[in-house]
Amino acid sequence: MDTKLLELLVCPVTKGPLRFSASKDELISRSARLAYPVRDGIPILLEQEARTLTDAELEAMHMGSPSPSPMTSVPPVQPEDI
């Protein structure tokens, strides 16, 4: 997934940041408790296409525990970057 694209994307539900899970090919919104699929390199940011994150997945992300799917944080976009 292109990092420049990830910097621009936000959760369509909460408008919060998304994190990319390369192992599951998903964009994760912790605040919405949703995982959006990425198909053929294209993020599908539709709430009805997203799966709900389990409590265990959220806890693993919150506690900083090793997660079954490594995640990458994306820094927020700065106005001067646009």
Write the secondary structure of 12-68 as one string of H (helix), E (strand) and C (coil). Answer: CCCCCCCEEECCCCEEEECCCCEEEEEECCEECCCHHHCEECCHHHHHHHHHCCCCC
pTM (predicted TM-score)? 0.71
41: tokens are: 């390199």
Task: Name the residue among 52, 50, 47 with its Cα closest to residue 12.
Answer: 47
pLDDT of 47 reads 95
Summarised one tens digit per residue, pLDDT across range 13-69 is 999 999 998 889 999 999 999 999 999 989 999 999 999 999 888 888 776 544 444
